[in-house]
Amino acid sequence: MEPRRFRITAEQMKIAIIGYGRMGHEIEKAAISRGHKVVCIIDQDNTADFDSDAFRQADVAIEFTSGATAQENILKSWEQGVPVVCGSTGWLNAGSRKWIDEHVGGRNRLVTASNFSLGVNVMFAANRLMARLFDGYDNYSVNIHEVHHVNKKDHPSGTAITLAEDIMAENSRYDGWVEPEETAPAERDIPITHEREEDVKGIHVVEWDSPICTLTLRHDAKSRDGFAIGALVAAEWLASQQTPGHYTMLDVLAHIHE
């Protein structure tokens, strides 16, 4: 079943794309296939186009750049009155969330996610449930492994970090995460390992292991379509959501079956 569109009227949504790499191209294709119009594309060579009539007419901007530029791009979009769906990874942390809280007031609207894939967000829900059910069973230990394409330089992935943070929130045994290649895990740390291989779209594995059994939760992305479609679903929802604020994919998914 095709993901639901949140647009209240039949009018096509006008979209600005910020970042025209692999994901930017996928979002452009997905937007057109869902009946929307891309009115502005901004990449590193034409950032002056934030201050353009084409950008200002957008109902929403979808931003996939880098952790180094995400905040600046969000602010430039808000200055033009355009809400943002931000998929840049490597910047969502306690400091950035404080920054969002300080800037999201007034008329500003923002959706962020470490991963916009609908399947990954179902995995997030299952991961939280598993962590809660294993709370108190110290004979089970958890580890996380992620695999991505060789062009992804940051590690661990934002998705892996979200998985770890959700486990920490639901299971009293863990209060931190480390990459074993760099730091030896302490008893209360979740180990996160990574690999970089040719043209891997994204694999995430959460494993709970004990002397009795092993339980594995795994998501394999077969293409980037899932990330692009999820970002478009979030954009459709945000365009119809008039209340200013910072939202996540949990807020979006909560409305899919309404």
pLDDT, residue 107, reads 85
pLDDT over 90 for what percent of the chain? Answer: 66
Task: Summarize the confidence of residues 176-187 as an average pLDDT.
Answer: 93
9 confidence band (pLDDT: 50, 70, 90): very low
Provide the 10 A C-beta neighbour count for residue 91: 20
Looking at domain 14-116+224-253, does it have CATH number 3.40.50.720?
A: yes
Q: Cite the residue boundaries of each domain of the chain with CATH code 3.40.50.720.
A: 14-116+224-253
**Cα 96 off chain centre by:** 14
Task: Summarize the confidence of residues 118-145 as an average pLDDT.
Answer: 95
pLDDT, residue 24, reads 94
pLDDT, residue 254, reads 82
- CATH superfamily to which 118-220 belongs: Dihydrodipicolinate Reductase; domain 2 (3.30.360.10)
Mean pLDDT across the chain, nearest whole number? 90
- Encode burial over 123-160: b for 16+ CB neighbours within 10 A, e otherwise: bbeebbebbeebeeeeebbbbbbbbbeeebeebbbbbb
- The number of C-alpha atoms within 13 Å of 199 and in the hemisphere containing its C-beta is 2
Is residue 255 a contact partner of residue 243, using CB atoms and an 8 Å limit? no
pLDDT > 70? residue 3: no
| CA angle (44, 49, 55) in 5-degree steps | 120
pLDDT, residue 10, reads 35
pLDDT, residue 6, reads 47
Q: What 3-state class would DSSP assign to 159?
A: helix
- The owner of tokens 């009795």 is 212
Strand partners, 205: 145, 218
pLDDT > 90? residue 165: yes
pLDDT > 80? residue 40: yes
Task: Summarize the confidence of residues 223-251 as an average pLDDT.
Answer: 90
- Strands 214-220, 245-248: parallel, antiparallel or unpaired by DSSP? unpaired
Question: 148 an active-site residue?
Answer: yes
pTM of model > 0.75: yes
Task: Summarize the confidence of residues 231-255 as an average pLDDT.
Answer: 90
Is residue 5 a contact partner of residue 236, using CB atoms and an 8 Å limit? yes
Instruction: Name residues whose C-beta falls within 8 Å of residue 182's C-beta, 6 or more positions apart in sequence.
Output: none
pLDDT > 70? residue 7: no
Task: Summarize the confidence of residues 91-120 as an average pLDDT.
Answer: 84
pLDDT > 70? residue 204: yes
Q: Give tens-digit pLDDT for 70-100.
A: 999 999 999 999 999 998 877 777 677 788 8
pLDDT > 80? residue 167: yes
User: Of these residues, 25, 37, 103, 152, which one is catalytic?
Assistant: 152
Q: Cite the residue boundaries of each domain of the chain with CATH code 3.30.360.10.
A: 118-220
- State the Cα–Cα distance between residues 162 and 90, nearest whole angstrom: 11
Question: 76 an active-site residue?
Answer: no
pLDDT > 60? residue 8: no
Q: How far is CA 35 from CA 5, 29, 178, 236, in A?
A: 10, 10, 43, 11
User: Of these residues, 36, 76, 148, 204, which one is catalytic?
Assistant: 148
